[in-house]
Amino acid sequence: MVIGIVGAGSWGTALAQTFACNGHQVHLYARRSKHREELKITRENKKYLKGVNLVENIIISKSLNDTVADKDIVLMAVPTQTFRSVYEEVSDILVNKNQNPVILNVAKGIEKKTHLLLSSVAKDVRADSRYAVLSGPSHAEEVGRFKPTTVAIASDDIELSKELQNELMTSRFRIYANDDLKGVELGGALKNIIALGAGISDGIGFGDNARAALMTRGLVEMTRIGTAMGAKSETFSGLTGLGDLIVTCDSNHSRNRKCGILIGEGMKVSEAIEEVGMVVEGITTTEATYGLASKLNIEMPITEAIYKVIEGKINALEAVDILMGRDGKVE
């Protein structure tokens, strides 16, 4: 297959490595011309995936048109809040050429202004989009170095999920096919909120008990809003729910956890994001999910507490007091 990857951050670059080493021709596109030139000359993404040398059959594209035209798969590796605008550009190119390749999204989040999942955003942009999502416990730093990783690809069409599974799976990158598109997207998005909370807890200086409680009760919140939106409850116990939650809350590779640690240590949210140096999806996802939960009247106390910390309405210790001081519940 010929694959065009839009977005040369850590994740886009790691997947380019994986798929190119599996015999696919990969075209990788970075929006900034300076970044493209650096990738061409050094064959290394020094800012986002340092120490990983790009394999020979990764072509650094000179334009978005070259990246997406005449491809079997267009992989969207851009931040959630820019997905719509970038996909509008991609769609214009493809419609003009009367082409409709598979759109494989790897971003994990919810559009802040509309509270839509990215599958719905894609359909907004182009109604006949052949859309799938890749998600699961998969840090780019490990995928790019071919460390064993297992993910899921989901689509409303299980046959499309299976086709992508067959084409993209490798001996170090195992893929499960899934037809719960909404559940897989929600799991990947919502776990970033809980990872922020786990990081805040660690930054304050709390221990394993507090982190375990956040993860466990966080998974309850994820499942609660997910099933209310039509997702399958069992999806949240799988790779794209529990699996991704564990790795994002526990790993030093996790930018959401790192951002939370800095906030817990007393840093302002804006300063913490700047210190991380990459997109922290959990910030905007918390804001979007808080609004969505309010609209749907879904109880999400952990999400609400993290939202109030991000907004500066309470500090991290006050959030802990609120959560621990709630009325007793039956589990």
Name the residue among 115, 166, 164, 94 with its Cα closest to residue 135: 164
Name the 3-class secondary structure at 121: helix
Q: 96: which residues sit within 8 A by CB, 6+ positions away?
A: none
65: Cβ–Cβ under 8 A, 6 or more apart, which residues?
A: 93
φ, ψ dihedrals at 132, nearest 5°:
-145, 160
Compute the distance between CA of residue 303 and CA of residue 195 in angstroms, rounded to an integer.
Answer: 11
Backbone angle region of 299, left / alpha / beta, with phi > 0 → left and psi within -120 to 50 → alpha: beta
307 to 115, 127, 250, 288: CA distances (angstroms): 15, 33, 21, 9
Q: Which DSSP string do the residues of 183-234 spell out, in sequence order?
A: HHHHHHHHHHHHHHHHHHHHHHT--HHHHHHHHHHHHHHHHHHHHHTT--GG
Active site residue 62: no
Q: Which residue in 71, 108, 191, 258 is the catalytic one?
A: 191
The catalytic site residues sit at 191
